[in-house]
Amino acid sequence: MICIDTNIWIYLFSEQDSVKRQVVRELISSLSPRHIVISNQIYKEIANVLIRRLNLPKEYAFEILSRIEKIASVYPEMPSDIKTALEIKDRYNLQFFDSVIYAFCFRNNIQLLISEDKPLGEIEHKGKILKLFNPFEE
């Protein structure tokens, strides 16, 4: 399974950067929807960016969220993810909310996180490896 972070989804649905939007379109079209998972944290972040930063009308934000639901499964975080995130945060000196996404990925056996802003190539926790991929780097 693959997790796609907030910033990647925003490029797909915004007019900010046509080159990055095209990269994301090609990337997502190459993936099977059955294998794309996002956390409810990522889902909430997408909604927040659509409404607050991009100032989209609520109806258009609803439409975008519905389209994402057709592409990706939205899974909840669990209390254990928060505890794992604290371990990951301390080990790698990362921000807490990024660490929650990593913990979510480990619990759900996700091997790849696609994101623009991840500082490391991979994260390890209890023998599991999570690869971090920036689709805009060559």
Strand 2-4 to 122-125 pairing: unpaired
Token pair, residue 65, equals 């969220």
Name the residue ranges covered by the structural domains of the chain.
2-12+32-133
- The type of residue at 117 is D
At 84-106, the pLDDT tens digits run 999 999 999 999 999 999 999 99
- pTM score, whole prediction: 0.92
At 23-58, the pLDDT tens digits run 999 999 999 878 999 999 999 999 999 999 999 999
Residue 112 has pLDDT above 80, yes or no: yes
Q: How far apart are CA 86 and CA 135, in angstroms?
A: 27
Q: How far apart are CA 37 and CA 14, in angstroms?
A: 21
State the architecture of 2-12+32-133 in CATH terms: 3-Layer(aba) Sandwich (3.40)
Q: Do 51 and 58 meet the contact criterion of CB atoms below 8 Å apart?
A: yes
Name the residue among 94, 103, 96, 126 with its Cα closest to residue 39: 103
Q: How far apart are CA 121 and CA 91, in angstroms?
A: 15
Residue 138 has pLDDT above 70, yes or no: no
